[in-house]
Amino acid sequence: MILKVNKISKYFGADALFKDVSFTVEENEIIGLVGVNGSGKSTLLSIIKGEEDFDTNEKGEGSVSVKSGVKIGILKQNSGLDSILTIIEEMRKPFLNLQKTLERMKELEQDLNEVNAEEYARLSSYYEANDGYNTEVLINRVLNGMGFSDISKDRVISTLSGGEKTRLAVAKLLLEAPDLLILDEPTNHLDFETLMWLEDYLKSYKGSVIVVSHDRYFLDALCGKIYEIENKSLFIYRGNYTAYTALKEKSFETKMKAYRKQQEEIAKLKDYISKNKVRASTAAMAKSREKQLERIEIIDKPYEYKSSVRLNLTYNIEPPKDVLKASDCTLSAGGRLLLKSFSFEVKRGEKIGVIGKNGAGKSTLLKLMLGEVPCEQGKILWADNIKRFYFDQEMKTLKNSKTVMEELHSRFPSQLDSQIRKILAGVLFSGDNVFKPVGVLSGGERVKLMFAIMVLSNANVLLLDEPTNHLDLNAREVLERALKDYTGTMIIVSHDRYLLSKLTNRIFELEGQTLIGYDCGFKGYIEKKRLEKSEVQEQKKVKEKSQAKLHRTKQQRAEEVKRRQRIKELEEQIALLDKECAELEERISSQPAYDYKEMSRLCRELDEKKELSASLMDEWVTLE
């Protein structure tokens, strides 16, 4: 166990954000933390990191215990980035100790002796144990994985976009490799390729991870536990996100069944007591029932999330089989070519996901279909009896000066107030909220207002651009169910992979100015991409092996030439030394005995030459 949270609470004045929260984090666990917006997820993470205080309960209980030596790292928007540094300078920060170690080792190498040899050995051992020689390789791997392969590493951080800074903050945190990695919405601004890389990286992460995310696909792929903050309490579910949703539903049904059973029992006891308490003959029995009632441990009514959006998408005009046809089209924006020479057809009832990197032209493609951007080349043809609804992720069509009611009345003047209020209640606008100006609505409220317009539109074709932005998990699930039940045609641009995996039966991918169609849903697309990537990697390996083999052959030939040259050099040196030794021996034998200094010098020189000759002979034997 690396972290233990025991009965902590958080109050703002008299209002509790959450109460008596307890859980543990074991080694090598990946935990998903979920809950509606405002439930306290980010606050809880800040408490774990020690950046925010917590409250104890009435008994004074409450603690956060971290195992000794455990390093905690938390991701927040642009956290820890120095805007005046370059990318590579910032990425080298986690390895400053290793860099200092290497510099000290180089200093010691200049004057290596018995005094500093021990320090050098210790530093060298530390450097190797912490993989110091591979830090640049690791930095490049993480930067490439997080989508910086096409961005110069010498670029100053202040010139990066907000999304790029977020990705860089994730990259730096991965390089810091804390024992407990805390990620708060890490998937924002990540394309599918980067998301897949991050998932694979975290699956093999050596520490533990707590992740807060609205990306249900991400939670599904990684997490072995889900911790949910709901109704000011924390509940623990084993398994990934899909398992959590099933367990939660089953748990709610079990708790509700137990609650209702107990309520029936209590009602019967109270009824018996009220009827028999005043009768002398049954008063004792009634008193016994009262004691029985007092001993009952009351089951709280299970919390039911009441604020879920209710959507029922229908249409009254049946479209033809062939809904849309694009022929030899070109798509440009701002003078930049986005897609060249593409064609496709859309059939009735198809649900198509449009995916691609940011800036690839996904939103512009929808606008081309709608005629909001010109078709410079080719044709876009819609069939008759088509009624379209367009969800613009920026929601520019909403009029800020109008009230919520006025916005709907201006679009659907024939609708009665009662019908409009009913639809608005389904998206959580009730009472005086229907008279709020559109300009003061939150992002989530504006999305829900667009959903009300979508319901009233009775469209048989939906074109949706990032409809899950600003929505919590519960609202996303409601939208998912509504779109799944919808029998019309749908073309959806989304980064919500869980939504795409549940809905789509075709995929359009925008990549390198090309529109690539896949006749399968998102899950099938992912499998195909993984297979393609695997095949590319295999081909790369084969090519590298072939090149390495060719290189080895050339290198072997070069090394053989060097070996022969060295053998020849050694033979010549050994022959020369043998001659010099013979001459020295002759001089020693003829040297006068009384001249011991000269005799000593000649003997010392003879020993040195024989030692060198023996050494050269050993090398010659090895080479031969």
544 or 199, which is more confident? 199
Pairing of strands 322-333, 336-347: antiparallel
Please tell me the predicted confidence (pLDDT) of residue 574.
87
Range of the domain at 404: 322-519
pLDDT-derived band at 550 (thresholds 50, 70, 90) equals low
Q: Is the domain of 168 the same as that of 29?
A: yes
Structure tokens at 115: 């005094």
Is residue 342 one of the residues assigned to a domain?
yes
pLDDT tens-digit readout, 277-286:
777 777 788 8
- Mean pLDDT computed over 543-563: 71
Looking at the structure, tell me whether residues 375 and 468 fall in a common domain.
yes
Tens-place pLDDT, residues 19-38: 889 999 999 999 999 987 77
Q: Which residues contact 438 (CB under 8 A, 6 or more apart)?
A: 398, 399, 400, 401, 402, 403, 404, 407, 446, 449
Which two structure tokens, joined as six digits, stand for 536? 């590319």
* DSSP-assigned states of every residue in 489-540: EEEEE-S-HHHHHHH-SEEEEEETTEEEEESS-HHHHHHHHHHHHHHHHHHH
Whether the predicted pLDDT of 436 surpasses 80? yes
Please identify, among 220, 245, 270, the residue that sits at the C-terminal boundary of a domain: 245
Which of 486, 519, 552 terminates a domain? The answer is 519
For the ranges 126-135, 222-231, 540-549, the lowest mean pLDDT is seen at 540-549
The last residue of one of the domains, among 206, 221, 245, is: 245
Percentage of the chain lying above the pLDDT 70 cut: 94
Average pLDDT, the chain: 85
Is 314 contained in some domain? no
Give percent of the chain above pLDDT 90: 28
Q: Which two tokens stand for residue 346?
A: 């859309």
Residue 109, domain member (yes or no): yes
Helices (H) and strands (E) in the chain, counts: 18, 18
Confidence at residue 515, expressed as pLDDT on a 0 to 100 scale: 94
Q: How confident is the model over 570-624, as pLDDT tens digits?
A: 888 888 888 888 888 777 777 665 566 677 677 678 778 877 887 888 788 888 7
User: What's the pLDDT at 551?
Assistant: 60
If one compares 368 and 553, the residue with the highest pLDDT of the two is 368
Residues 6+ apart with CB under 8 A from 298: 262
Tell whether 396 and 462 lie within a shared domain. yes
Q: How confident is the model at residue 344 (pLDDT cuts 50, 70, 90)?
A: very high
Q: How far apart are CA 516 and CA 506, in angstroms?
A: 11
Using the Cα atoms of residue 191, residue 443, residue 445 and residue 42 in order, give the sign of their dihedral: positive
Residue 306 lies inside a defined structural domain of this protein: no
Residues 229 and 257 in one domain: no
pLDDT of 73 higher than 90: no
**Short-list 409, 420, 469, CA closest to 445:** 469
Query: Residue 591 contacts by C-beta under 8 Å, 6 or more apart in sequence?
Result: 598, 599, 602
Q: Are 27 and 151 members of one domain? A: yes
Q: Are residues 15 and 108 in the same domain?
A: yes
Cα separation, 180 vs 185, whole angstroms: 16
DSSP state, residue 439? G
With respect to residue 31, please indicate whether it lies within any of the assigned structural domains.
yes
Q: What pTM value is reported for the model?
A: 0.66
Interval 401-417: pLDDT, tens: 999 999 998 999 998 98
Q: What is the CATH number of the domain that holds 172?
A: 3.40.50.300
Q: Which residue is associated with the tokens 């990032």? A: 466
85 & 226 share domain: yes
- Give yes or no: residues 442 and 486 share one domain: yes
Given this model, what pLDDT does residue 549 score? 64
144 and 59 within one domain: yes
What pLDDT shows up at residue 77?
Answer: 52
433 and 332 within one domain: yes
CA distance 142 to 173: 10
- Residues 67 and 187 grouped into a single domain: yes
Q: Is residue 313 part of a domain?
A: no
The residues pairing with 565 across neighbouring beta strands, listed in sequence order, are none
Instruction: Check whether residue 401 and residue 263 sit in a common domain.
Output: no
DSSP assignment string, 302-316: PP------------S
Asked if the structure places residue 525 within a domain, the reply is: no
Is residue 307 included in any domain, yes or no? no
- pLDDT reported for residue 357: 82
State how many domains the chain has: 4
